[in-house]
Amino acid sequence: MVKKAFFSLVVMALSLLTSFSSANEKNATYLYFYGQGCGHCQTVEKYFEKTDIDEKVQLQKYEIWFDATGRQKLVEILPSIGLSLNDVGTPFLVMINGEQKEYLMGSTPIIEYFSALANEGADQKAETGSSISANPTELSPQNTLLTGGKVEDNNTEESETSGQLALTTGTTQTGNTSKETRLLSSGATKMGTEENIASQPKKFIPILLSGALSDSINPCAFAVMLLLLATILSKSKSKKKTIFAGILFCLAIFLSYFLLGLGFLKLLYATTMQYTTIFKRGVGLLGILIGLANLKDYFWYGKGFVMEVPLAWRPKMMKLIQAVVSPGGAFIIGIIVSLFLLPCSSGPYVTVLLLLGAESSGLNSLGIAYLLLYNLIFILPMIVITVMVGGGRTSAETLGKRKNKHTKLIHLIVGLLMLILGLYIIGTIYRAA
């Protein structure tokens, strides 16, 4: 009789604990992050439609590939669970229960979690504080119901998968020591599975240099600079004034393009996800097209379109430049002329900006440094021309003749640089696949 009563008490206690755990999970706040067009997210969405579990737990959904609001929500919550954007894939689930936060990534863990939650008392229901082996050969969908910060890593090598597994890192405390832990989340579209070049200056700067150098030697900038210097020198007869006007003109071009770059990047961050394969492939394709267009100008210069300032714009631009009579006027005209130069010089710049926007979650000090470096390289040849002409080492007419003689060669160099740049960008996608 005593044994029977004791057994009944144990059963009742276990039932109460299960009910309490279930109540806590049901009272939790669920934040679900997905990407429009993400295949694994569509799998989860079909599960939601079939079970209505998302409505039962009042799941809060946030699209993060194209919605800035959803992306900002994700950015705000990631530090509290010890992750960064590069660690996260879609779909991604965060469960908040008081001060406690847990996370899951991938269609399989999320579906299995909600299936266990719907079937109260299931043996594989997720429990906070549990610990399992993260050996890829032993890790099953049921095991991945545990949170990323609670899975011990007994295998220091990352598993080689077919792209259906994404790796998330976290930290767990064992006594007084801290060890790195890893969770393999099945069925996740990783936002950083390709090589993230922008975060690595040693890899991104060569790309930036290719774009900036091809941009800096474009014949449009040379023609504008030579016309300005010839105008100032003929009117002022002063070498110092000519050099000062040329430097201010270069400064105006620098500031205009730098601010245009900042605005373009902010627009990218507000309208697109920080990193998608499709977007990066488009950037590479743009670089290739710009390269081919410049190669066309080498082989068939003047036929069809030309990668220079449109012919219809040139008379107006020349009038503006020839009206300059002072260094201050050169600065103002520099800002205006920068808009005329966009059709000629924006291709490489836009390609680099798109790549930078595709590989970063927001504007930071590194991104600003990239823009400063790019535009400094862009105006460097114009500064050299200013010093040479203003200092009397050569004349604008002489440099103008050389520019006209080598215009096709310049298009060839720009075309090859942009073609290589575009192919390299696309190559990074498949090299990391």
Residue 133 β-bridge partners: 152
pLDDT tens digits along 251-294: 999 999 999 999 888 877 766 544 456 667 777 888 888 888 88
Q: Which amino acid is at 378?
A: F
Maximal CA-CA distance, the chain:
117
What burial letters (b/e) apply to 73-84, b meaning 16+ CB within 10 Å? bbbebbeebbbe
Please give the model's pTM, rounded to 2 decimal places. Answer: 0.56
What burial letters (b/e) apply to 272-296, b meaning 16+ CB within 10 Å? bbbbbbebbbebbebbbebbebbbb
Mean of the pLDDT values across residues 162-177?
34
pLDDT of residue 61: 92
Residue 168 β-bridge partners: 183
Lowest model confidence (mean pLDDT) among 58-67, 142-151, 237-246, 337-346 = 142-151
Q: In this structure, which CATH number among 3.90.105.10, 3.40.50.2300, 3.90.1150.10, 3.40.30.10 belongs to the domain 2-190?
A: 3.40.30.10
Q: Could you please report the per-residue DSSP string of 178-222?
A: EEEEEEEEES-EETT-S---TT-HHHHHHHHHHHHHHHHT-HHHH
Other Cβ atoms less than 10 A from the Cβ of 232: the count is 29
Angle at which helix 342-358 crosses helix 327-340, to 10 degrees, equals 70
Mean of the pLDDT values across residues 7-26?
50
**CA dist., res. 34 & res. 12, Å (int):** 40
pLDDT tens digits along 19-60: 444 444 456 889 999 987 677 888 898 899 888 888 888 899
Per-domain boundaries in the chain:
2-190, 201-432
Q: CB neighbours of 138 closer than 8 A, spacing ≥ 6?
A: none
Q: Could you please report the per-residue DSSP string of 241-274?
A: HHHHHHHHHHHHHHHHHHHHHHHHHHHHHHHS-S
Q: Which is more confident, 284 or 306?
A: 284
CB 103 within 8 A of CB 94: yes
CB 117 within 8 A of CB 57: yes
Look up residue 201 and give its two tokens: 């200056």
**CA dist., res. 184 & res. 342, Å (int):** 47
